[in-house]
């Protein structure tokens, strides 16, 4: 073998080819290979976990009910406002009121708008069913002054991850709001307050006079509340006293939805996998770094921002001790002390892109390196390692921006464990993770933590993460010019 091919430079060069964030393992996609033996995963086991990009994930449904003017619509509007996320849509049961016939319109004061028959529940069910199966729907627009639906316009509601279903009788039909798989909330406001609000709303917004509101209330609204709304209280997962005034309850629901939105199925299976909470900023940065037209300068800038977030999040999983300090006002502040025994380990080469962020967060942190060659020795060769001598006493932040097959990660983790690092003292930090990689690492090392900023769809036949962002190290270090 010529000399240069044995040196570290050659090895570094060879390792900097197309990066699969892991090793090509022969037979990875063969159903005959043993997943345990190779650390790889067979397509059969993938299929239970990994979503087919064309397959549709069932949305999470939140039902919100309560008496008239208890604040249902206000609460739901506040939740939608706070979330500001197109993955959450609101469907109001009111939109599905049946339009009155000319005969019913003449005798409107005798019409019971609070009875289940006043709604076209089958149409509402159909609409929710379509949304659940990933289709967009046209929701009618109902006019409370004319008691009719618009014949010209409708509201388009797109398929989403969370559907909020709101209305006085959404729990009356078990197939709707109070379905066991749904999250059920009930707004509960004082009856006098509700009546006062109803009078004001119906006279100001719905073209009624006070007498007709009071008459309708006594004849239909109150009895129907007792017959149909109150019994559904037993289905409620949460009750929201004071409706829209209850900011704490609204915040909790918003948080719950955030958790649902951020929780990939894999996080439910592997509780040690943490995906940092998605925001428009984070999605915007991902959009930029995944765009093949991005300039190198922007790629590095936005990758660095994302890396910093992942590093900070990862540090949040370290153990801490309580610490008290005296503030300049002579008061005691009870806080925490950072974990001191730390070290970073980058998987060369792309992992090195994460070192600066780690140094910026942890002053003077030691950083070791592991280089794994994806060819040779059946794609599993450990080529180079330089780790602090006392690594077994440290918590390790393992750095690699893209987790693909998980094979090089497993190799690196194996080495750390051989050096005496307890598995539970390793936090593996990524920007983008493939489900296959997560499964491969988590199955073998269940007590290690993975912190990532996004979980992608899958690996393709070439073991590249899809949609992914190509060869991270080449983009970051500018070696993708040719």
Query: Number of residues in contact with ligand ADP, rule: CB under 6 A?
Result: 14
Nearest to 75, CA basis, from 225, 205, 191, 240: 240
- Interface with ligand L45E5XJ5 (CB under 6 A), residue from 38, 68, 405, 407: 68
Token pair in block for residue 421: 């690092």
Binding mask 171-190 for ligand ADP (x = CB under 6 A): ----------------x---
Binding mask 13-32 for Mg ion (x = CB under 5 A): --------------------
Inter-CA distances, 118 with 95, 147, 312, 337, Å? 11, 11, 54, 61
Integer Cα distance of 273 and 270 in angstroms: 6
- Interface with ligand ADP (CB under 6 A), residue from 11, 23, 25, 72: 72
147 lies in the binding site for ligand L45E5XJ5 (CB under 6 A): yes
Token pair in block for residue 441: 């690492």
For Mg ion, the binding residues in 46-85 under the rule CB under 5 A are 73
- Interface with ligand L45E5XJ5 (CB under 6 A), residue from 76, 89, 139, 168: 168
Query: Residue 446 phi/psi, 5° resolution?
Result: -65, -20
Q: Which one of ligand ADP, ligand L45E5XJ5, Mg ion, none is in contact with 144 (Cβ closer than 5 to 8 A by kind)?
A: ligand L45E5XJ5
How many helices and strands, by DSSP H and E, does the chain display? 17, 21
Residue 72 CB, shortest distance to Mg ion, in Å, is 5
Nearest to 376, CA basis, from 411, 417, 428: 411
408 lies in the binding site for ligand ADP (CB under 6 A): no
Name beta bridge partners: 440. none
Length of the chain: 482
Name beta bridge partners: 61. 163
Token pair in block for residue 70: 């208890």
Residue 221 CB, shortest distance to Mg ion, in Å, is 13
Nearer to Mg ion, 95 or 439 (CB): 95
For ligand L45E5XJ5, the binding residues in 79-118 under the rule CB under 6 A are 94, 97, 113-114
For residue 349, whether the previous peptide bond is cis, meaning omega lies within 30 degrees of 0, is yes
> b/e map of 269-305 (b: 16 or more CB within 10 Å)?
ebebbbbbebeeebeebbebbbeeebeeeebbebbbb
Integer Cα distance of 222 and 215 in angstroms: 10
Only one of the segments 1-9, 62-70, 108-116, 328-336 lies at the binding site for ligand ADP (rule: CB under 6 A); that segment is 62-70
Nearer to ligand L45E5XJ5, 69 or 288 (CB): 69
Nearer to ligand L45E5XJ5, 72 or 425 (CB): 72
- Interface with ligand ADP (CB under 6 A), residue from 66, 140, 368, 401: 66
Integer Cα distance of 378 and 55 in angstroms: 34
Q: Which one of ligand ADP, Mg ion, ligand L45E5XJ5, none is in contact with 228 (Cβ closer than 5 to 8 A by kind)?
A: none
Give the dihedral sign, CA 465/466/469/474.
positive
Only one of the segments 10-18, 43-51, 69-77, 132-140 lies at the binding site for ligand ADP (rule: CB under 6 A); that segment is 69-77
Collect all residues with Cβ–Cβ distance below 8 Å to 25 and sequence separation of at least 6: 33, 38, 39, 40, 378, 379, 380, 405, 407
73 lies in the binding site for ligand ADP (CB under 6 A): yes
Nearer to ligand L45E5XJ5, 216 or 410 (CB): 216
Residue 66 CB, shortest distance to ligand ADP, in Å, is 6
Longest alpha-carbon distance in the chain: 99
187 lies in the binding site for Mg ion (CB under 5 A): no
Nearest to 114, CA basis, from 168, 73, 165, 74: 168
Collect all residues with Cβ–Cβ distance below 8 Å to 254 and sequence separation of at least 6: 79, 82, 83
69 lies in the binding site for ligand L45E5XJ5 (CB under 6 A): yes
The owner of tokens 């590249």 is: 464
Query: Number of residues in contact with Mg ion, rule: CB under 5 A?
Result: 1
Q: Which one of Mg ion, ligand ADP, ligand L45E5XJ5, none is in contact with 38 (Cβ closer than 5 to 8 A by kind)?
A: none
74 lies in the binding site for ligand ADP (CB under 6 A): yes
Q: Give the interface with Mg ion as residue ranges (CB under 5 A).
A: 73
Binding site for ligand L45E5XJ5 (CB under 6 A): 68-69, 72-73, 94, 97, 113-114, 144, 147, 168, 221
């Amino acid at each position: 073998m010529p000399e240069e091919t044995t040196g570290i430079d050659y090895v570094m060069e060879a390792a900097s080819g197309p990066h699969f964030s892991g090793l090509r393992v022969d037979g990875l996609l063969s159903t005959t290979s043993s997943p345990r033996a190779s650390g790889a995963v067979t397509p059969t086991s993938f299929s239970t976990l990994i979503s087919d990009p064309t397959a549709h994930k069932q949305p999470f449904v939140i039902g919100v009910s309560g008496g008239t003017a208890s604040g249902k619509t206000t609460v739901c509007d506040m939740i939608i406002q706070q979330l500001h996320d197109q993955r959450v849509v609101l469907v109001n049961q009111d939109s599905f009121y049946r339009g009155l016939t000319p005969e019913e319109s003449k005798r409107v004061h005798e019409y019971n708008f609070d009875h289940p028959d006043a709604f076209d529940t089958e149409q509402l069910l159909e609409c929710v069913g379509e949304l659940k199966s990933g289709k967009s729907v046209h929701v009618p627009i109902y006019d409370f002054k004319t008691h009719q639906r618009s014949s010209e316009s409708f509201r388009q509601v797109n398929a989403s991850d969370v559907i909020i279903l709101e209305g006085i009788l959404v729990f009356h039909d078990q197939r709707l709001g109070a379905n066991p798989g749904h999250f059920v909330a009930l707004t509960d406001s004082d009856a006098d307050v509700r009546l006062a609000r109803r009078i004001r709303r119906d006279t100001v917004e719905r073209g009624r006079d006070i007498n007709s509101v009071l008459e309708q209330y006594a004849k239909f609204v109150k009895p129907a509340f007792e017959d149909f709304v109150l019994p559904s209280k037993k289905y409620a997962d949460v009750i929201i006293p004071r409706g829209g005034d209850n900011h704490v309850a609204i915040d909790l629901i918003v948080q719950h939805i955030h958790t649902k939105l951020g929780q990939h199925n894999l996080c439910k299976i592997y509780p040690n996998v943490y995906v940092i909470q998605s925001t428009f900023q984070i999605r915007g940065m991902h959009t930029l770094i995944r765009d093949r037209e991005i300039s190198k300068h922007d790629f590095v800038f936005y990758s660095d921002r994302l890396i910093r977030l992942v590093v900070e999040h990862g540090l949040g999983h370290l153990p801490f001790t309580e610490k008290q300090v005296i503030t300049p006002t002579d008061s005691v502040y009870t806080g925490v002390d950072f974990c001191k025994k730390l070290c970073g380990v980058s998987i060369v080469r792309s992992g090195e892109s994460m070192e600066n962020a780690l140094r910026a967060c942890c002053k003077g942190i030691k950083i070791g390196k592991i280089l794994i060659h994806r060819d040779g020795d059946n794609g599993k060769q450990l080529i180079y390692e330089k780790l602090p001598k006392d690594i077994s006493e440290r918590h390790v932040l393992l750095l690699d921006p893209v987790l693909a097959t998980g094979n090089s990660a497993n190799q690196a983790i194996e080495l750390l464990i051989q050096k005496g690092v307890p598995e539970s003292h390793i936090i593996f930090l990524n920007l983008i993770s493939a489900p296959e990689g997560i499964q491969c690492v988590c199955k073998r090392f269940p007590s290690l933590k993975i912190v990532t900023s996004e979980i992608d769809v899958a690996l393709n036949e070439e073991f590249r993460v899809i949609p992914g962002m190509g060869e991270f190290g080449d983009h970051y270090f500018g070696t993708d010019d040719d």
